Amino acid sequence: MKHLLVKIIINAAALMFTASIIDGIYVDGWSAVIIAAVILGIINAVIRPILMVLTLPLNLMTLGLLTFVVNGLMLKLTATVVSGFDIMGMWPAIVGAIILSVVSTVLNWLVD
């Protein structure tokens, strides 16, 4: 349970950092960021694998570049579900998903 809470806090911090450097991603505070981190984790665990399987042929043709779009869609879907977390357009979502994954990975390496 403690490990899960640490992961949520790390992802929330990475999401707050991403929102602070990307124009087009807006957060209304830490409560919205923590809720968004939890919802994003659930969406990535449930919906993302289904989308990755469905888009596998196209993903292979684009040499994996479609994965960035799928990650951006997951972030955009999170923004539609969570009030206080908004993304204005698809490009900020894609770039934000890339930065979010890099920052989250680095923070997880530092903690583990």
C-alpha triplet 85, 8, 70: angle, nearest 5°: 60
Q: What is the pLDDT of residue 1?
A: 78
pLDDT computed for residue 41 by the predictor: 94
Q: What is the mean pLDDT of residues 105-110?
A: 92
Which sign does the torsion angle of CA 18, 23, 26, 30 carry? positive
pLDDT per residue as tens digits for the range 61-98: 999 999 999 999 999 999 999 999 999 999 999 999 99
